[in-house]
């Protein structure tokens, strides 16, 4: 069928001047996207039918389609790009639903959870693997780094799945997960620098920290100003699709900007979402109400786009977990992975338990929600492997921990809320008035 292959229109376009010849068969990418979306949706429905968190269905779709089971789909650059857009849009969506005032209120507690859940697993992981397993300094540092991760994607999705996104503890978890992501990027940069040069420049770390801080406080304001221009444009527009194209552009441009200053890209999506949320507060307590009709239009136009891209993200996390590469017979793998698994879980719970003024149930809920390592853990592990720091055994052990925390934490969280979700203690907040814990939009199930 060589003949047929020659009839491809866009293959020919790819050889136009100024372009490198495209080796990728685009129609296969279409098939892969269709298979990813359909499998994810069907397994999510199945999970929902059996009372499981629906995100499990999407993660499982990746496990099934990827190298772990069928090996049909290996994520390439394009799938990764679409997944990344999915994660950025997911954070945009979370930002849209967030009450900025409450998030700022939860800030100090979120910082405690983030820092606690970062330092404890890092130190425990480092000490355990360096002293008990006798790994080198660098290997142990990378293992500790991997254990600091919190999958912001899985965490916010599971909170939404159980309808606790806008709850008291949901706000703390959201803030903590965002901070954890920023800390993760900083640590990754430091570890990488250390693995290459053996030294770390604290000045650089301070610089990036400052940039990120400035970005986080000025970006929502800038996004708000741009969005008021978009609202005016919408009034006079003669071309359909004003919201879909301009708001998507805003989100992607902010993701680029966040990356350019050294922050995680999803921070750009989150900042844009916060700016467009129903009530947006300036630092000095000035509330800028978003026009309700405009809010409604944004939701109507962006929802299908978010729904299209975000499952690709969760499936890609599953695709990147190669469980077949693990030597399940090796006793070392079991000892090693179970030990660091204990650290991985205990370390994040410790972060939640540092909130002395919260009820133990709330602390447990918060700690559990921070457990999934997901995509952020995979990045640490992947970098460790690529830099030659992790051998195949250590890498496999780390992958087991990432898979276990990512795939099982949603189950614990769902059962936890099934059992304790109606206890008044969970809704009681320490030192502030009790607020309505119900979600602004009905949860997925």
Of residues 276-305, those binding its own copies (CB under 8 A): 300-305
| C-alpha separations of 310 from 93, 190, 195, 315, 430 in Å | 10, 30, 33, 9, 34
12 binds its own copies (CB under 8 A): yes
The interface region with its own copies, picked from 39-47, 130-138, 288-296, 428-436 by CB under 8 A, is 39-47
Residue 329, H or E segment: none
222 binds its own copies (CB under 8 A): no
The interface region with its own copies, picked from 270-278, 318-326, 334-342, 358-366 by CB under 8 A, is 318-326
In the complex with its own copies, the residue whose CB is nearer, 37 or 124, is 37
Residue 265, H or E segment: none
| C-alpha separations of 418 from 52, 358, 413, 415 in Å | 11, 20, 9, 5
248 binds its own copies (CB under 8 A): yes
Name which position in 57, 117, 144, 163 contacts its own copies (CB under 8 A).
57
| Chain Cα centroid distance, residue 441 | 21
Rounded Cα distance, 323 and 77, in Å: 21
Q: Which of residues 78-117 bind its own copies (CB under 8 A)?
A: 78, 80-81, 84-85, 88
209 binds its own copies (CB under 8 A): no
Rounded Cα distance, 272 and 283, in Å: 16
User: What ranges in 261-391 are assigned the alpha helix state H?
Assistant: 266-276, 292-319, 331-353, 360-369, 374-386
Rounded Cα distance, 83 and 96, in Å: 20
Rounded Cα distance, 358 and 379, in Å: 32
In the complex with its own copies, the residue whose CB is nearer, 279 or 296, is 296
Name which position in 311, 347, 372, 397 contacts its own copies (CB under 8 A).
311
Name which position in 49, 357, 418, 423 contacts its own copies (CB under 8 A).
49
Binding mask 321-360 for its own copies (x = CB under 8 A): -x--x-----------------------------------
The interface region with its own copies, picked from 27-35, 120-128, 131-139, 166-174 by CB under 8 A, is 27-35
Binding mask 154-193 for its own copies (x = CB under 8 A): -------------------------------xx-xx--xx
Q: Which of residues 59-78 bind its own copies (CB under 8 A)?
A: 67, 74-78
210 binds its own copies (CB under 8 A): no
In the complex with its own copies, the residue whose CB is nearer, 172 or 398, is 398
In the complex with its own copies, the residue whose CB is nearer, 364 or 406, is 406
Task: Output the six-digit token pair for 94.
Answer: 């979370």
Q: How many residues bind its own copies (CB under 8 A)?
A: 107
Instruction: Provide the angle, in degrees to the nearest 10, between the axes of the packed helices 242-260 and 77-96.
Output: 100
Task: Output the six-digit token pair for 180.
Answer: 């954890």
Rounded Cα distance, 51 and 67, in Å: 27
The interface region with its own copies, picked from 12-20, 133-141, 170-178, 430-438 by CB under 8 A, is 12-20
Task: Output the six-digit token pair for 163.
Answer: 């309808």
Rounded Cα distance, 62 and 407, in Å: 12
Task: Output the six-digit token pair for 234.
Answer: 């919408």
The interface region with its own copies, picked from 136-144, 283-291, 372-380, 427-435 by CB under 8 A, is 372-380
């Amino acid at each position: 069928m060589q003949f047929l292959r020659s009839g491809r229109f866009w293959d020919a376009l790819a050889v136009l001047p100024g372009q490198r010849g495209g080796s990728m068969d685009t129609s296969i990418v279409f098939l892969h996207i269709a298979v990813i979306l359909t499998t994810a949706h069907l397994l999510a429905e199945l999970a929902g039918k059996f009372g499981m968190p629906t995100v499990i269905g999407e993660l499982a779709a990746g496990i099934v389609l990827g190298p772990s089971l069928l090996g049909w789909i290996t994520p390439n650059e394009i799938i990764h790009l679409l997944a990344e857009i999915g994660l950025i849009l997911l954070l945009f969506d979370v930002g849209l639903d967030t009450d900025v005032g409450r998030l700022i209120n939860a800030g100090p507690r979120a910082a405690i959870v983030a820092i606690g859940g970062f330092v404890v697993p890092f130190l425990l992981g480092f000490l355990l693997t360096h002293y008990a397993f006798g790994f080198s300094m660098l290997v142990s540092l990378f293992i500790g780094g991997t254990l600091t991760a919190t999958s912001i994607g899985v965490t916010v999705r599971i909170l939404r799945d159980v309808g606790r996104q806008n709850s008291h503890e949901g706000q703390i978890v959201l803030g903590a997960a965002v901070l954890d992501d920023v800390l993760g990027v900083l640590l990754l940069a430091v570890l990488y620098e250390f693995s290459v040069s053996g030294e770390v420049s604290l000045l650089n770390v301070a610089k990036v920290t400052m940039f990120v801080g400035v970005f986080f406080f000025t970006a929502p304001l800038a996004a708000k100003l741009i969005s008021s221009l978009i609202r005016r444009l919408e009034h006079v527009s003669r071309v359909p699709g004003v919201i879909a194209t301009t708001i998507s552009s805003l989100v992607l441009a902010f993701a680029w900007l966040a990356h350019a200053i050294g922050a995680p890209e999803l921070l750009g999506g989150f900042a844009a979402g916060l700016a467009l949320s129903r009530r947006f507060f300036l630092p000095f307590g000035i509330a800028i109400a978003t026009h309700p009709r405009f809010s409604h239009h944004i939701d109507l136009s962006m929802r299908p786009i978010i729904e299209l891209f975000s499952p690709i993200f969760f499936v890609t996390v599953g695709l990147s977990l190669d469980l077949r590469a693990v030597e399940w017979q090796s006793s070392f793998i079991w000892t090693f992975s179970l030990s660091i698994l204990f650290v991985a879980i205990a370390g994040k719970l410790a972060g939640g338990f540092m909130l002395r003024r919260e009820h133990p149930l709330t602390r447990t809920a918060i700690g559990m929600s921070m457990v999934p390592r997901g995509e952020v853990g995979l990045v640490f592990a992947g970098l460790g492997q690529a830099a030659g720091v992790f051998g195949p055994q250590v890498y496999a052990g780390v992958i087991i921990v990432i898979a276990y925390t990512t795939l099982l934490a949603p189950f614990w969280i769902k059962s936890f809320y099934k059992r304790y979700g109606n206890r008044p203690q969970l809704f009681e907040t320490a030192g502030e008035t009790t607020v309505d814990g119900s979600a602004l939009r009905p949860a997925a199930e």
